[in-house]
Structure formats: C-alpha cells, structure tokens
Structure 1
C-alpha cells in the first residue's frame, strides 16, 4: 500500500494515527500542501480531488476519505478496534466522529483558510479555487470555542467520546484540538476533563507519528 501524506495537515495525521494504532506499515509519499503539490498533475492523476490523505491499495484502488481508510484498516486488522466493539459503540463512534468533523474540524478550517494569506483563493480544499470570506473566519473562530465547550461537557461524562474505550472519534477530536493552535486556540485550563483526555491520548505512541 502507498499512503499519500502531508506531515503538517490534520486530516492525514488522523490516518497516520490509525495506521500506527493498527501496526500497519506502508510506503509513504509526502504531498506538501504548502508547496501546492496536491494540485500538481502527477498527484491529480492519482487523486483528481487533489486532497490528502489517500491510501492506494495493493490492487490499485484508492481510498481518499478518513472514514473509508479507517473502515478498510479496521476490517484488515480488527485489533485493536477503533470503530466500536458492539452495535451501540459503533453507533457512538460514528456519531461523535461526525459531530467532531462538523462542529470542530470544519470551523477550525474555516477560521484558518478564510483568514491566512497562504490560502488566498484556496478557502476550500480541492481542485476548485474559492475566494476567502472574512466573515466565515470570524464565525469559525467562535464556533471552535463552542466546540471546546461541547467536548468538555461530553468528556466530563466518561473517559472517551464514545464511552469507555479509545476510538477513531478520539483520534479525530485530538488531532483537531491540537491543530487549533493555528488559529491561536488552546484548551482552557478550566476544561479539566478535556485536558486530562488530551494528555492521555498524547501519551499514546500513535500521537507522535
């Protein structure tokens, strides 16, 4: 398998953590968003969506979304389970992954991509150029703050987002919370449950990849 990565971007890091948790070794190719490598013809011939991560399977098939990559790796290497141990937990993992993506990852991306000069005319990832909308940056910043409050409320109820076990939902939230530094946002000291959860995941070997 070949993994198309960008070491500075949050979404490829989610896939790297799943690979590490599963103990799956792959060939890695760096696709630097900073240099616009994802838009070059060579990579777009592989992935016309011009985004990372992407995982090319041994038969040539390409998986381009984190949920697809995680589902494939879960089926390939069931242990440790990251997508849930039973029907209830599977539902909670998918639910919290969706919540984190929509209420955490998207606002952080909006705050960054609609304000930072590096993303001028690149406010949305992919093959089409979109102009920045400053109002979305402000809204994204405020929504990201609200997301941290949501996490604290949930994590005060249990050790992980989907309940008793570490899962892909935690990987997703951990990566986005860490990446929020790019919009100068950190977990407040008052968010004790979130800070404890963040420290426990940071101590996992997969967090260092």
Structure 2
C-alpha cells in the first residue's frame, strides 16, 4: 500500500490515526498543501480531485476519501474493530461519523477557508480557485460553537461517540475538535464530558500523529 499524506491538514490526519490504531505501517509520501503540491499534474494523475488523503492498495486501487480508506482497511484488517461489529454498531458508527463530518468538520472548514488570509482564493478544497465569502466564515464560527454543544450533549450520554467503544467516529470528532484551533476556538472548559473524552483521546499514542 502507498499512503499520500499531508502532515498539516486534518483529513489526512484522520486516516493517519486510523492506520496507526490498526497497528499498520504503510509507505507514505508527503503532499504539501502549503506548496500546492496537490494541484501538480503528477498528483492529479493519481487523484484528479486534487485532495488528500489517498491510499493506493496493493492491487492498484486508488481510494481518495476517508470513509473509503477506513472501510477498506477495516475489511482487510478487522482487528481491532474501529467501525463496529454488529449491524447496529456499524450503523451507529457510520451515523456519528457523518454527524461530526457535517456539523464539525464542515463548520471549522467553512470558518477557516473563508476567513484565513492563507486561504485567499482557495475557499474550497480541490482543483478550483474560489473566492472567500466573509459571511460564511462568521457562519462557520457559529456552527463550530454549536458543534461543541452537540459533542457535550452526546458525551454526557455515552463514553465514546458511537457507544461503549472507541471508533472511527471518535477519530473524526477529535481531529475536527483539535483543528478548530486554526479559528481560535476550543471546547469550553465547563464542558466536563468533552474534556474527559479529550483527555482519554490524548492519552492514545495515535493522537500525537
């Protein structure tokens, strides 16, 4: 397998943590978003959508979305299970992963890409150069606050996002929560359930990747 990574971006970090939690060592190539390497003809020959992460499997299949990479690795390396074992667990993990992507990841990305000077002209990932919209940056900040509230409510009910076990949903939620630092937001210290979950997440060796 060959993994195309970017050490500074949140989505490749999600895949990186998933790979580590599976106990795998995968050949890796760094693609610098800061240098625009994802837009190079060489990389777009691998992924025309010009996004990372990308995993190329042993048979040459190219997987260019986090959920695709996780699904493949879970099927090929089922232990430890990170996407549930029963039909109910699998559905719950998929549901919470989608929730945190939509309510957390998209919110932080909206604020960052539309508000940070480094993202001028790059308001969305991919091959198109698109202008920033300041109103979307403000909306993203409000949505990120709502995401923190959503996390706290859920974690008051469950030790992990999708139930009693650590899963892909926790990886996604942790990465998005941590990445909110780029828009100068953190979960409130008064969100006790979230702070406990963050402590447990940071205690995992993979969290430092």
TM-score (norm 2): 0.99
CA distance in 1, matches of 2:48, 2:158: 41
Alignment correspondent of 1:146: 146
1:31 aligns with 2:31: yes
Q: Describe the SS at the equivalent of 1:156.
A: helix
SS of residue paired to 2:115: coil
Question: Aligned runs of 1:79-158 on 2, under 5 Å?
Answer: 79-158=79-158
Q: Distance in 1 between matches of 2:20 and 2:181?
A: 23
What displacement does 1:118 show? 1.1
The count of aligned residue pairs is 209
> Residues 51-109 of structure 1: CA distance to partner in whole angstroms, max 9, x if unpaired?
00000111211000000000000011101101012111111100000100000000100
Distance 1:100 1:27 in 2: 28
C-alpha distance in structure 1 between counterparts of 2:57 and 2:127, whole Å: 23
Give the structure-1-normalised TM-score: 0.99
Looking at structure 2, the residues matched to 21 and 117 of structure 1 have their Cα atoms a distance apart, in angstroms, of 34
- 3-state DSSP class of the match of 1:49? coil
CA separation in 2, counterparts of 1:89 and 1:125?
A: 31
Q: Distance in 1 between matches of 2:128 and 2:59?
A: 29
Structure 2 residue matching 1:110: 3-state secondary structure: helix
Residue of structure 2 equivalent to 1:177: 177
Query: Residue 70 of structure 1 aligns with which residue?
Result: 70
1:160 pairs with 2:178: no
| Aligned CA-pair RMSD | 0.6
Q: Which deviates more from structure 2 when the two are superposed, residues 114-123 or residues 164-173?
A: 114-123
Q: In structure 2, what is the Cα distance between the partners aligned to 1:80 and 1:197?
A: 20
SS at match of 1:55: strand
- Which structure 1 segments of 5+ residues have no match? none
